[in-house]
Amino acid sequence: MVIKVIVRRTGSSRKAVRRALASDLRPSYERRARGSVVDGLEPAARELLRATPTVRATEIAERIDWRHGLTVLKVRVRELRPCYLPDRYRARSTTGASGAV
């Protein structure tokens, strides 16, 4: 197929089509991984969990002056909490596929 036709069908530039044809790899879009908004305040959240492992995520949000969406913080707290819970809570929080402890 002629490059001109490929450009017309895909809407890409001629340079992009030529690069893709010259490359051995399939063209793909990759972007740099960015951190989460939680990353900067995670040490403060960890400190609160260390002091009180059962503290609610909403209370952590109030104490660290969280100004973003609460779901992102809740997910991170859910990931961090098992590290700070005593053994008696850990056994209850992990379940198998059948739901039995």
Residues 6+ apart with CB under 8 A from 40: none
Q: Are 41 and 66 in contact (CB under 8 A)?
A: yes
Predicted pLDDT at 11: 93
Please write the tens of the pLDDT for every residue from 27-67. Answer: 778 888 888 999 999 999 999 999 999 999 999 999 999 99
Q: Are 71 and 37 in contact (CB under 8 A)?
A: no
Residues 6+ apart with CB under 8 A from 26: none
**Is the model's pTM score more than 0.85?**
no
**CA–CA separation, 45 vs 70, rounded Å?**
13
